[in-house]
Structure 1
Amino acid sequence: MGTMKEIRHPIRMSSFGKRDMRAQFAALPWRRRNGKIEVLLVTTRDTGRWVIPKGWPMNGKTPAEVAATEAFEEAGVIGVPADQCLGIFTYTKILEDGELPVVAVVYPVEVTRLLSDWDEKPCRKRKWVALKKAAKTVSDIELAELLSDPALQKRLI
């Protein structure tokens, strides 16, 4: 494990109370290809931004199991989730009735199979990219920082 990083992007909760913060569990689908690590990114349904699969807690499932379920639903991933968190990032989820601050906890999911047809295929794209390119492709600043962390690749192997 590395050392603690200074928080560079504080959570903005000026119009929210402490209890308004929500948690999601995110999957970082990954594979080894030609000796290098690649991660699978998906687009959001609404804006088409590149992100990683994530979703709300599910009754009876561990956070890593939720992450694997989201990877299956959003990207057609069948894989093996690990229980060790890779990191967190925060973002603001835009809802019909306003905004909601969210902290996303990221779990690795080693991809064993990728389906050619999956639930959300009609509304999402997916692509494999190297970690460095993934960090440049995603729009969430904190997720980009997590993906560009030099220790991340070692933690996936």
Structure 2
Amino acid sequence: MKSSKKGAKSRAGSSSPLLKQLAERPEKLFSGAFRQQYGALCFRYRKGGPETDHPEIEVLVVTTRDSGRWIIPKGWPMKKKKPHEAAAIEAWEEAGVRGTVRKQPVGRYTYLKELDDGDVVPCIVDIFQIEVEAAQSQFREVGQRVLDWVSPDEAARRVRELELKSLLVDFRPRHDKGRRKKKG
């Protein structure tokens, strides 16, 4: 049976077709064929900002365009862009947010990506923190995704990937010389 985008939508919330495909071809997990992606862990301070004794933060989660499951903005490497720059571009295109990007990843997670042709590939996502300073209502994928600002615990409840859940629950913004101001 061929997979189509329409078929992918009908499987919303179910990973069993992905697992079934991997069970039929387990060598995919062990062939060194992991694909690289870059993700943006976008956050903002809820009240008082980072100078308060107990700053509260909100994390941005977005839905995927096909199945509607919750994720963080992420995408493939981009020619002539450093990983943290690619993550910032994904945050802008998928959610209309810009801010201060940390050059070093704050973590990583793995997941199974279903490609447009129905094939399944394992991916590693390096995650870059972005302290959001501006949000626009008009951006490339407006209307294709749902965006929500939630607590790190709520974000962890919404996403499916276990490593990402753990990173979100434990997330504390890092402020050091690895920061880079993203203009625009």
TM-score after normalising by structure 1? 0.85
Report the Cα offset of residue 97 of structure 1.
3.5
Partner of 1:155: 174
Percent sequence identity is 42
Deviations 1:69-93 (A, max 9, x none): 0000000011121112111100000
Larger Rg: 2
Q: 1:47 aligns with which of 63, 67, 71?
A: 67
Deviations 1:9-36 (A, max 9, x none): xxx8823153421000000011111131
Report the Cα offset of residue 103 of structure 1.
0.3
| Structure 2: runs of 5 or more not aligned | 1-21, 48-54, 177-184
What number of residue pairs does the alignment pair up? 144
- C-alpha contact (below 8 Å) 1:74/1:121 kept by paired residues: yes
| Structure 1: runs of 5 or more not aligned | 1-11
Q: In structure 2, the residue corresponding to 1:155 is in which secondary structure?
A: coil
Query: Does structure 1 residue 77 correspond to structure 2 residue 97?
Result: yes
Deviations 1:59-113 (A, max 9, x none): 1111110000000000001112111211110000012241000000000011110
Matches within 5 A, 1:9-28: 14-16=26-28, 18-28=31-41
Report the Cα offset of residue 51 of structure 1.
0.4
- C-alpha contact (below 8 Å) 2:129/2:173 kept by paired residues: no
Structure 1 residues 154, 45: closer, same or farther in 2, change over 3 A? Answer: closer
C-alpha separation between the residues in 2 aligned to 1:136 and 1:60?
35
- C-alpha contact (below 8 Å) 1:79/1:112 kept by paired residues: yes
Partner of 1:107: 128
Q: In structure 2, the residue corresponding to 1:123 is in which secondary structure?
A: coil
Partner of 1:5: none
CA-based RMSD: 1.7
C-alpha separation between the residues in 2 aligned to 1:88 and 1:119?
25
Partner of 1:60: 80
Q: 1:90 aligns with which of 101, 110, 116?
A: 110
Deviations 1:35-70 (A, max 9, x none): 311110000000101100001111111111000000
Moved over 2 A (4+): 12-15, 154-157
Answer 1 or 2: which has greater strand percent. 1
